[in-house]
Structure 1
Amino acid sequence: MAKEADAKIKLQIPGGQATPAPPVGPALGQHGVNIGQFVTQFNEKTKDSQGMILPVEISVFRDKSFTFIIKSPPAAVLLKKAAGIAKGSSEPNKEKIGKVTKAQIEEIAKIKLQDLNVNKLDMAGKVIEGTAQSMGIKVED
């Protein structure tokens, strides 16, 4: 029989750069998890995604063991990287601060498809386009 999770912890950590400092240490420490073991395992699994913000879902069990699932980076992070901008627009309906192509949207949609609540690539593309629009990024053909 599978172990039942005692707690679920969701964090966003830069790939390959987890440290015992906040937010990782306090979030895991309060559940009695071996922080050093998590940091080592996370950094090993994400060494190819250096610096990219990665959501991680950690399941902590009664015996203080844990498992974790690394999800794809947030769409906003991928869009900022594709558009070459540091942050989104403060007035996205008036001020457009970057541009991405339909091809870039499709690439991001392929990366995000497994984590979105759609099952077709064209629908995932529309979700990513909506995120781009809300950030003040213009989508071009």
Structure 2
Amino acid sequence: MRDGLTITEDDLAGDDIRDLVALHLSGMHAESPACKVNALPLDKLRQPGVTFYAARVDGEVAAMGAIKHLSATNGELKSMRAAPNWRGRGVGEAMLVHLLSVARERGYTRVSLETGRTEAFAPAVTLYKKHGFVECAAFGDYVVDDFSQCLSLAL
């Protein structure tokens, strides 16, 4: 992370953040079987119960992430992605820390997510595990199998 980083709730109206969402969706379709793409498109990121955040460094979009309300005690992380020129520079971790702070402020006792098991997802899984996430049973409509895994963190 570096000076000038801000993370704020975002309405997904700007072309720069819309481009990052499109890149994320494209990447998920390229790296996942069609039936396993659980990334949210713009309209779903704007639904009630989903709060979307953008991380910017000196005004440039560096990362994105969202938290979905599942229940009074549970939230789900969605759409975590660092912009290509910001990968490996700590902005994804800053977004994760921010989303976990939001979850704690909401009173959640658990945050979960679904992600892939392949090499393309390894950097994200490593980040989640660094922050205490562990594999868990499937939740919601997800299925744990040779491609998908669910991770959870007790807060």
**Category of TM-score, reference length = shorter chain:** 0.3 to 0.5
Higher RCO, Cα 8 Å, sep 6+: 1
Whose helix fraction is larger, Structure 1's or Structure 2's?
1
Q: TM-score, normalised by structure 2?
A: 0.31
Whose strand fraction is larger, Structure 1's or Structure 2's?
2
